[in-house]
Amino acid sequence: MSAAQAFNRIGQFGLGIALVGGVVNSALYNVDGGNRAVIFDRFSGVKKQVIGEGTHFFIPWVQKPIIFDVRSRPRNIPVVTGSKDLQNVNITLRILFRPVPDQLPRIYTILGQDYEERVLPSITTEVLKSVVAQFDAGELITQRDLVSQKVSEQLTERAGQFGVILDDISLTHLTFGREFTQAVELKQVAQQEAEKARFLVEKAEQTKKATVISAEGDAQAAIMMAKAFGNAGEGLVELRRIEAAEDIAYQLSKSRQVSYLPGGQNLLLNVPTPGN
């Protein structure tokens, strides 16, 4: 056997290995962590078996693996609805959702891979409109926990009918229409004005009571003074005069510009008299 024939056989063998490797590689697919796969068969349709994580075989051109993410994913859904007292309410609901792995063949057959786009907005709008219509605008604020509980219970039940699990549901945004907001602001201003007026009335009442008490005290003092004058006569007047004189003398004693002269002495010694 010549060298040329040997190299030719080696090349043919290598080509065969490459072809086999290409066919095997095209028949393999990977399912990453947190994902599941559903097999679509061109002859039998969607298979009921759900493929877990790892590397798996399929028949090329006949079968096709459909990959689903089964981890929880967030989604915000805004809804505009009406309250019991016909007020416009803007609500945003945040949902953590994931599919039920065992129901992935049914989900793919009925809804497709974009099942969340087909299911979540519609059932969220339906449940929110039903729950919010049971409360008026004030109750939506004061009973927010009850509203959130009712929404969570009904939405979880509706999502379960489509093979979707809701891990968390929360009301992240709740506002009202412009007319209601303006009415609330006007009400707050009116309440503040009423409180201010009530304070002024109470203050006037207290001032009035203080004036009456002061007048009654002055009247009682005048009556007591009149009785004292009637009983003591001029002696009380003289006593008050002495007390006033003592007070004046005390004030003058503090002044440096005032000098006291002894009684009965003439200090003008150098002033000539008229006879001299």
CB within 8 Å of 67: residues ≥ 6 apart: 31, 35, 36, 37
Q: Mean pLDDT lowest for which of 29-33, 118-122, 161-165, 257-261?
A: 257-261
Strand runs labelled E in the chain: 28-31, 35-41, 45-51, 54-57, 63-69, 73-82, 88-99, 164-176
Per-residue pLDDT of 145-202, as tens digits, reads 999 999 999 999 999 999 999 999 999 888 887 766 665 556 665 666 677 677 777 8
> Is residue 158 within 8 Å of 127, Cβ to Cβ?
yes
| Mean pLDDT of the region 19-42 | 80
Q: Are strands 35-41 and 28-31 parallel, antiparallel or unpaired?
A: unpaired
- Average pLDDT, rounded, for the chain: 80
Q: Is the pLDDT of residue 248 over 80?
A: no
What pLDDT, on the 0 to 100 scale, is given for residue 276? Answer: 47
| Mean pLDDT of the region 211-240 | 69
| Mean pLDDT of the region 54-83 | 92
Q: Mean pLDDT lowest for which of 135-139, 154-158, 216-220?
A: 216-220
Q: Is the pLDDT of residue 133 over 60?
A: yes
- pLDDT band of residue 65 (cuts 50, 70, 90) is very high
Q: Which comes out higher in pLDDT, residue 181 or 85?
A: 85
Q: Is the pLDDT of residue 252 over 60?
A: yes
Q: Which comes out higher in pLDDT, residue 85 or 4?
A: 85
| Mean pLDDT of the region 240-259 | 71
What pLDDT, on the 0 to 100 scale, is given for residue 169? Answer: 93
Q: Is the pLDDT of residue 233 over 70?
A: no
Reference 132, options 151, 152, 157; nearest CA is: 151
Backbone angles phi, psi at 222, to 5 degrees: -65, -40
- pLDDT band of residue 77 (cuts 50, 70, 90) is very high
For the chain, helix, strand, coil in percent to 5 are 55, 25, 20
Name the DSSP class of 53.
Answer: S
What percent of the chain shows pLDDT beyond 90? 41
